């Protein structure tokens, strides 16, 4: 007869930890949840008992008791593009210092996918939610409003905020780039972008500003996210094969722009004398490609730090929720050899 599999042991409890540590269950609870009220020696004793027993704290039970989960949900479009890395690093570091853990969700630049993620995440009752951008479904806006959970929309600004906003105007970026490049004498513009709502707003704003200043024909190639070097190469290929002859190509990101540089080099086009290139984001690689890439610098670390500050302030003073928080972090045009 085959042996029956051994019965699974029940998970260790807080009482088990207390027995191993030789202290009361309430002392274990304080050492784990309020370490500032016990001595360092006592906390180390309890943590050693936790290691010995393999105890896992029931965060849900603690959340029900305190009405706090110490969890912040962060939604990003993608992690394939390092443009958000500095923001996330600064945000997570400051939240960690304050004793908060983070949960990352990827939306793939889709408001509908963001809605589905919110359905799942809000059931965990995070203390705060950080969204990238201001484009959301009506269902998401309603659900967040009804939840009462503090929300920060980052990397963008709008006239219809959900709650708090930390970012910059993508329309202002487009206008500034158009004016800057016109001032340098460029007249034949083209755009290579991915289907990112914020990137498209920048590009459309650039095209509108060029039209206002008398340049009507601005061909644009929009390719499928995420931003990659191949997307940039394909964008320039399509422009040239369509018979376009731009003297400057404006790209929705530095990654796309570096692809345009690569395709230009493969075709023997000299940058910037034959074709100039402008990116967005000022990635660490932008200054070190050849030729060095002109771009728009956004201080991602500053955005992350300000998002964390806004959330922590709200956690500390929830009564201040009626006070508007709208922080414009701005941007800087960076002129390098590619333009």
Taking every pair of Cα atoms in the chain, the longest distance, rounded to a whole number of angstroms, is: 88
- pLDDT at position 23 is 94
Q: Specify the higher pLDDT residue, 321 or 267.
A: 267
Hey, how many other C-beta atoms are within 10 angstroms of the C-beta on 46? 24
Q: What is the token pair recorded at 195?
A: 């289907």
CA 89 to CA 299: how far, in whole Å? 12
- pLDDT at position 7 is 41
Packing angle of the helix pair 138-147, 111-121 (nearest 10 deg) = 30
The CATH class that applies to domain 69-168+300-331 reads alpha beta
> pLDDT-based confidence at 96, cuts 50/70/90?
very high
Chain segment 25-83, per-residue pLDDT in tens: 899 888 887 777 889 899 899 989 888 887 766 554 555 455 678 999 999 998 877 78
Q: What is the token pair recorded at 276?
A: 């100039």
- pLDDT at position 204 is 98
Residue 258 sits at φ, ψ, to 5 deg, of -65, -35
| Of 200, 207, 269, the residue nearest 233 (C-alpha) | 269
Domain at 170-297, CATH from 3.40.50.300, 3.30.930.10, 3.40.50.2300, 3.40.50.150? 3.40.50.2300
- pLDDT at position 221 is 98
The CATH number of the structural domain formed by 14-57 is 1.10.260
- pLDDT at position 219 is 98
- How do the domains of the chain map onto residue ranges? 14-57, 69-168+300-331, 170-297
Residue 154 sits at φ, ψ, to 5 deg, of -110, 165
Whether 69-168+300-331 and 170-297 share one fold: the answer is yes
Q: Please give the model's pTM, rounded to 2 decimal places.
A: 0.80
């Amino acid at each position: 007869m085959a042996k029956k599999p051994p019965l699974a042991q029940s998970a260790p409890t807080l009482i088990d930890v207390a027995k191993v540590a030789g202290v009361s269950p309430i002392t274990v609870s304080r050492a784990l949840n309020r370490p500032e009220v016990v001595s360092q020696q006592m906390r180390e004793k309890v943590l050693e008992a936790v290691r010995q027993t393999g105890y896992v704290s029931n965060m849900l039970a603690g959340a029900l008791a305190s009405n706090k989960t110490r969890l912040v949900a962060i939604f990003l479009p993608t992690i394939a593009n390092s443009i958000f890395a500095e923001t996330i690093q600064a945000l997570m570091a400051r939240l960690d210092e304050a004793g908060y853990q983070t949960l990352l969700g990827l939306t793939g630049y889709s408001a509908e996918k963001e809605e589905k993620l919110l359905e799942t995440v809000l059931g965990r009752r995070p203390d705060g939610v950080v969204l990238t951008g201001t484009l959301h479904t009506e269902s998401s806006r309603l659900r967040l409003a009804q939840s009462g959970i503090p929300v920060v929309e980052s990397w963008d600004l709008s006239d219809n905020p959900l709650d708090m906003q930390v970012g910059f105007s993508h329309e202002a970026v487009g206008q500034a780039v158009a004016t800057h490049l016109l001032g340098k004498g460029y007249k034949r513009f083209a755009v290579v972008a991915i289907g990112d709502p914020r990137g498209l707003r920048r590009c459309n704003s650039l095209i509108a500003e060029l039209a206002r200043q008398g340049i009507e024909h601005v061909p644009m190639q929009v390719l499928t996210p995420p931003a990659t070097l191949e997307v940039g190469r394909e964008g320039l290929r399509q422009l040239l094969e369509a018979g376009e002859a731009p003297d400057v190509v404006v790209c929705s990101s530095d990654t796309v722009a570096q692809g345009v540089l690569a395709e230009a080099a493969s075709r023997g086009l000299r940058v910037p004398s034959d074709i100039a290139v402008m990116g967005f984001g000022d990635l660490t690689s932008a200054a070190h490609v050849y030729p060095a890439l002109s771009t728009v610098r956004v201080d991602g670390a500053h955005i992350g730090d300000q998002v964390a500050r806004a959330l922590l302030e709200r956690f500390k003073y929830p009564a201040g929720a009626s006070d508007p928080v709208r922080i414009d972090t701005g941007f800087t045009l960076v002129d390098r050899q590619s333009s």
